[in-house]
Amino acid sequence: MKYSEAEKQIKTLSSEYEIDMSDGDFNVIYNRNVELIYVDGYERYKLDINSYYKESFSNMPFSSMLYMILSELAMTPLDERVEEKKHYVKICDGYSGYLNIDNFTGKMSVANMSEDNRFKTKFTDKEIEQLKQRDDIPLDWNKVTFEEAEDES
């Protein structure tokens, strides 16, 4: 499970839950000031309820669902919790100088960086390596530049 998936699921449980990852751990904050429970960001399988709230944890909104979500996150290997960074492939200068791959035909075109259900413009490192192997994409990969794409979360 990705951190972003866990956060999305937790926020649907209750508007009183917030997420704080400023210390590297996945902390669930209750009612804006109570650090209730966390998943360790540096050690797999480590999930802990704040000792001060252990007795009252079961009375929190959807506590069993919260615990299940965090258990799945804690079981996930550390390197699989983070979204893989994506990049735009800048082929030439200008607004419309980015690699686009048609999601229906697989064909390459050069256009703007807007991604939608028709065109893919953001690529992971693994996807870029696969594109480099394609004979139908006539690019000098030593001359293109890569721009980091913003997270969508």
Which amino acid type is present at position 128? I
Q: What is the pLDDT of residues 65-111, one digit of tens each?
A: 999 999 999 999 999 999 888 999 999 999 999 999 999 999 999 99
- Tell me what percent of the residues of the chain surpass a pLDDT of 70: 98
The whole-chain average pLDDT of the chain stands at 93
Of these ranges, 41-45, 52-56, 149-153, the one predicted with the greatest mean pLDDT is: 41-45
CA distance 114 to 49: 42
> How does DSSP assign 27-93, residue by residue?
EEEETTTEEEEEE-SSSTT-EEE-GGGTTTGGGSTTHHHHHHHHHHHHHS-GGGSSPPP-EEEE-SS
Structure tokens given for 25: 């751990």
* Contact between residue 47 and residue 74 where contact means Cβ atoms under 8 Å apart: yes
pLDDT of residue 93: 92
